[in-house]
Structure 1
Amino acid sequence: MAKQKKETKEKPIEVTLWEAANKLRGSVEPAEYKHVVLGLIFLKFASDKFEEQRAKLIAEGKEKYIEKPEFYNMNNVFFLEEASRWSFLIKRAKQSDIALLIDTALHTIEKNNKSLKGALPDNYFSRLGLDVTKLASLLDTINDIDTTRDPKQDVVGKVYEYFLSKFALAEGKGKGEFYTPKSIVNLIAEMIEPYKGIIYDPACGSGGMFVQSIKFIEAHHGNKKEISIYGQEYTNTTYKLAKMNLAIRGISGNLGDKAADTFLDDQHKDLKADFIMANPPFNQKDWRAENELTDDPRWRGYDIPPKSNANYGWILNMVAKLSENGIAGFILANGALSGGGEEYKIRRKLIENNLVEAILVLPSSMFYTTDISVSLWIINKNKKEQVRAVGSEKRHFRNRVKEILFFDLRKSGIPFEKKFVQFSDETIQHIAGTFHKWQQTEIENVPEFCYSAKIDEIEKKDFSLVPSKYIAFVNRDENIDFDKKMKTLQSDFANLLKAETQSKNDLLTVFKELGYEIKL
């Protein structure tokens, strides 16, 4: 009988590429290496798109136009000079000057395409002094990505997103802030439904919120042209990651003219957004000087956020940027739910102004960069009755002005990458579905999951937004026979003491037999 072949499941291309690329890292830190790898992935993508458009021009009998940038730009394709093309670089992969050639290629692409201004790694390859053999092997590895093979599959987008998550994991605590775990971004998108209008992220990292917004629109058969994207990022290298991430997916976005501090150099001062999705830095200290930003218009009507912690600075920045019917979903450390001083005054006013719609405490170990407890806030500028279209569905919202929906999701995560947790797609749909149902009709409060609190209840609890103050918890011990349990423990403890006494006596006997007597 012929021996049956063992079937092996083929790994996804992004996993295979990551394993190969990571082996070539050598002594280069993940924080640096990500710009090398992601820069090359972008270069491969841009070249594939360029070659595809070039072949199309030739097939249409327009060969005389194949070196004219406008015949590429009109189809949202970046024009590449010969020295910037992947084919040019791959032929020279084993040359000693390959690092310089890559840097030159990236610089030239950015110079020739205005939309890429400030987007690409600047002089990374030459500066890092990468081993030529390993760099050549990395080029060969990335050469395996065929970005045009299946137009229906966003191959390069999947690879880019996967690599971002893996680099965030590799960098670990205190770093990797450029990436928000995918399942959290998905949950925010499903709750606020960024379907049509202006989307803003004041701390956009590598642009994950924008990518998921586009996916949400596609899933609901919407039109990507009906949204506009605005963002801001403080760290220059992360600003580049975001611009590349958007460019790879063909997403137009305004991330400001440069990387800049959202508080001190607001790149979108007059913006009014229909949707805000954000994961700003947690508990950011000394974000402003003592007398700085004291009369900033973003705090108008509220107390000035304390300089010791930026949490409420971020909240008020987002409230100020929301349009008349705007809705925001953002992540903050749990301390913001119950802080005192100026934070208390601002939180109280936000509640009294009917802006807080929902608070969700998330499981621990969801973030790769920190293990502190965090929560998702939903702020809605218009909680009154309204009708809103989401895809082909029309939502009729009832008056929720005097209620806030609380969720406790601490037990809702599933294991991920050994020491982390994430939400399953089913869990995300259940949470978002509960929220949307609550917006439209009455729902039952569910112990250990959700509770709709009226404003007078919240006032009685001194305007605390800690979900556990409202959500009922089941007493899991109510059916235990305590008398029986205590008798069992009493017996176990007696046996332990007896064993300890016997061990002590045996030890004393041994010493006595050796001629040494121990007096206690």
Structure 2
Amino acid sequence: MPEEKTQSLESALWSAADALRGNMDASDYKNYLLGLIFYRFLSVKALKAFAESNRMDENNHAELKKQYTQFLDPNNMIGDIKTREATMSSLLNKNGYHIEPENLYSSLIDNINDGSFEIEQLETALHELELSTNNQSSHSDFDGLFQDVDLHSNKLGGTIRQRNHAISETMLALNSIDLFGHNGDVLGDAYEYLIAQFASDAGKKAGEFYTPRQVSDIISQIVTYKRNGGDDQIRTIYDPAVGSGSLLLNVAQHVDRPELIKYHGQELNTTTYNLARMNLMLHGVSYEDMELRNGDTLDKDWPVEEPYQFDAVVMNPPYSAKWDNDDSRLADPRFRDYGALPPKSKADFAFLLHGLYHLKENGTMGIVLPHGVLFRGAKEGKIREKLIEDNRIDAVIGLPANIFHSTSIPTLVLVLKKNKDNSDVLFIDASREFEKGKNQNNITEENIEKIIDTYKNRKDVDKYAHVASYDEIKENDFNLNIPRYVDTFEPEPDIDINEVKQNIADLDAEIARVQKEFDEMAADLVETDVDKNDKD
């Protein structure tokens, strides 16, 4: 995708938020903006599917919409009722949903332009979409997807007229973006750009659902790498703290046949869960290939039915979160083999053990965590020792500080396996290799490439990486703090004492010369009698 087109699209999407700014902060208006972007995408996709089914020119939007209306509008229809039913059935099977002609985003725009738009029209359109899917169960693929688009909120305005105006202006701004003719990747890229911007704007709350692309790239390339060759196709991925779904999608970019992947994920925050569903759909993931759940990963295990173990597990959980570590959880198969539960105030190892439990024997897991998991003692120390004894930890990769939108603390990627072909642990200290940015530091492509190459080669690199044996780790009391294994100390250059003495002598001479000049200038000064001069 050309860079100029990307910048133009991102700029247009961001400017659409201006119509909602005022009484809202980023954590509020993102719900409206992303929901409307997604609805417009679905409308465009519905027309595109209709064009493909009827072998029409999908770039002639006006004619295509006219034909769509004639085929599907009961009051203005070509053919009989069977034609309409057959067309609807075809589109429903193709897209998984149906949008009536009057509910198309472009139809609502027409109403805005001729002054007939009422906010209830959009509310009806969103509601009917939720009911239109081809899911034969009582649960729709779109259930609750737009529940955060509260069209009656006073944050849109105190009166119906004000709310109509705010939504109308936002929809018009979004309508200026040329989405038709793109395959979804353009909008997907812009969508993730917006998530990053919202995270910057809203702070910690928004940052919880966004993992920077560079970190996702590192984890994705690692979990899709097969050291011993063979079939490298990842077919199932699981993210127990799925957030926006960016980690799941990034893994798919590093396999040969992403269409074979089944995506699984769970998210506690309902709004973020809906964002993940939108994000996967925006990137072309079919409804049959995703299994996302809104729930508490640590409170109740999921999934518990096949498939419950996965080729790759990826995760960026909330750091040092509180959780319920009641002793009854010692019987939970996720935690029972470790003899202790993570402390109530720090659920880091709880997330790790949950993910490891759901990893296949030949799979790879990558999880982002704070550095405390490497050296904290007590119960966490006991769990860490058990993981090392069982040869589960494959690599420890230290990342630079201030690369996340939600925290400035340095983090790391912990790589775990159940079936390793070695008994050592690779330590990589990449904390000092980054590009400094205005708000966050950036891990460059070169930085990422160095991390991945080092992981694949699995050899010592001076002041950067070290392969530590089990005995070496045991000698360190199972403490995995990176500085214990990777020496990044840079000795100070030798000091030439004679050169320092000469520099001091030169400075003394210079000071004496300047002082002499100053004294001579002071002696030449003549006092002026201001009062006398004034009288003259």
Is TM > 0.5 for Structure 1 vs Structure 2?
A: yes
State the Cα distance separating 1:291 from its structure 2 match: 4.2
1:474 shift after superposition: 4.2
The structure carrying a bigger helix percent of its residues is 2
Cα distance in 2 for residues equivalent to 1:281 and 1:490: 59
Tell me if 1:436 matches 2:472: no
Give the residue type in structure 2 aligned to 1:107.
Answer: H
CA distance in 2, matches of 1:67, 1:168: 44
Q: Distance in 2 between matches of 1:36 and 1:457?
A: 54
**Aligned counterpart, 2:143:** 117
Q: Which residue, 260, 269, 277 being the options, matches 1:226?
A: 260
Letter of the 2:264 counterpart: Y
Structure 1 CA distance for aligned equivalents of residues 219 and 474 of structure 2? 27
Q: Are positions 1:129 and 2:156 aligned together?
A: yes
TM-aligned CA deviation for residue 482 of structure 1: 6.3
Match of 2:522 in 1: none
Q: Which moved more, 1:56-65 or 1:325-334?
A: 56-65
The structure-2 alpha-carbon separation of the partners of 1:459 and 1:142, relative to structure 1 and needing over 3 Å to count, comes to same
- Equivalent in the alignment of 1:366: 403
**Other structure's SS at 2:194 match:** helix
The amino acid of 1:23's aligned partner reads: D
RMSD over aligned Cα, in angstroms?
2.9
* Amino acid aligned to 1:24: A
Asked whether the 8 Å contact 1:234–1:260 carries over to 2, the reply is yes
Match of 1:422 in 2: 442
1:262 aligned residue: 297
Q: 1:25 aligns with which of 20, 43, 60?
A: 20
User: In structure 2, what is the Cα distance between the partners aligned to 1:255 and 1:200?
Assistant: 9
Shift of 1:77: 5.1
1:293 to 326, 329, 344: 329
- Contact kept? 2:325, 2:343, Cα under 8 Å: no
- Secondary structure of 1:79's counterpart equals coil
Q: Which residue of 1 aligns with 2:179?
A: 147
Are the aligned partners of 1:365 and 1:421 in contact in 2 as well (CA < 8 Å)?
yes
Equivalent in the alignment of 1:513: none
Structure 1: distance between partners of 2:378 and 2:330: 16
Q: What amino acid sits opposite 2:392 in the alignment? A: L
- Seen in structure 2, the aligned counterparts of structure 1 residues 122 and 15 have a Cα distance that, compared at 3 Å, is closer
Map residues 190-209 of structure 1 onto 2, 5 A cutoff.
190-193=221-224, 195-209=233-247
CA shift, 1:289, in A, is 5.1
Q: Give the Å deviation of 1:92.
A: 2.3
Corresponding residue for 1:179?
210
Residue identity in the other structure for 1:74: N
SS at match of 2:12: helix
Report how far residue 70 of structure 1 moved: 2.7
- CA distance in 1 between partners of 2:40 and 2:314 (Å): 30
Conserved 8 A contact 1:234-1:261: yes
> Aligned to 2:40, which of 26, 37, 44?
44
2:313 to 262, 266, 276: 276
| Secondary structure of 2:94 counterpart | coil
In structure 2, the CA distance between the partners of 1:9 and 1:245, relative to structure 1 (3 Å rule), is closer
CA offset digits 1:72-119 (Å, max 9, x no partner)? 233235311234311221122365864332232222212212322333
The CA distance in 2 between the partners of 1:347 and 1:293, in whole Å, is 18
Q: Which residue is 1:312 aligned to?
A: 349
Alpha-carbon shift at residue 383 of structure 1 (Å)? 1.2
* 1:59–1:381 Cα change, 3 Å: same
Tell me if structure 2 keeps the 8 A contact 1:190–1:429.
Answer: no
Matched, 1:447 2:466: no
Asked whether the equivalents of residues 200 and 230 of structure 1 are also in contact (C-alpha less than 8 Å), the reply is: yes
- Secondary structure of the residue that 1:451 maps to in structure 2? strand
Query: CA separation in 1, counterparts of 2:5 and 2:502?
Result: 57
Evaluate the alpha carbon distance shift between residue 352 and residue 24 of structure 1 in structure 2; reply closer, same or farther with a 3 A threshold: same
Give the drift of 1:487: 8.5
Structure 2 distance, partners of 1:149, 1:279, is: 34
Deviation at 1:300, TM superposition (A): 2.3
Partner of 1:159: 190
TM-aligned CA distance change 1:86 to 1:375, over 3 Å:
same
TM-score normalised to structure 2 length? 0.79
Q: Say whether 1:35 aligns with 2:67.
A: no
**8 Å contact kept, 1:145–1:156:** no
SS of 2:436's equivalent in the other structure is: strand
Does the CA-based 8 Å contact 2:268-2:296 persist in structure 1?
yes
Q: Please, which of 130, 138, 142 is the counterpart of residue 170 of structure 2?
A: 138
Percent sequence identity is 29
Q: State the 1:420 CA deviation.
A: 0.6
Alpha-carbon distance, 1:311 to partner: 0.7
Which of 26, 39, 52 pairs up with 1:56? 52
Q: Does the residue aligned with 1:326 lie in a helix, a strand or coil? A: strand
Query: Residues of 2 paired with 1:225 and 1:193: CA distance?
Result: 15
Matched, 1:74 2:109: no
Look up the equivalent residue of 2:237 and give its one-letter code: I
Out of 316-325 and 96-105, give the one that drifted further: 96-105
After superposition, give the CA deviation of every residue in 1:10-36 in whole Å (9 maximum; x if it has no partner). 762333224412332322111111111
In structure 1, the residue corresponding to 2:391 is in which secondary structure? Answer: coil
Between the aligned partners of 1:362 and 1:480, the Cα distance in structure 2 is 33
Indicate how the Cα distance of structure 1 residues 492 and 173 shifts in structure 2: closer, same or farther if over 3 A, else same.
farther
- For 2:372, the equivalent position in structure 1 comes to 335
CA contact (8 A) 1:406 1:452 kept: yes
Are the equivalent residues in 2 in contact too, given 1:363–1:410 (CA < 8 A)?
yes
Is 1:104 the equivalent of 2:131?
no
Contact 1:203/1:232 (8 A) holds in 2: yes
Aligned partner (choices 12, 15, 24) of residue 10 of structure 2: 15
Q: Which position in structure 2 is the counterpart of 1:244?
A: 278
Residue 468, structure 1, aligned to residue 493, structure 2: no
Q: Which amino acid aligns with 1:276?
A: V
Q: CA deviation at 1:299?
A: 0.7
The structure with the largest alpha-carbon Rg is 2
Give the 3-state SS of the residue equivalent to 1:297 in structure 2: coil
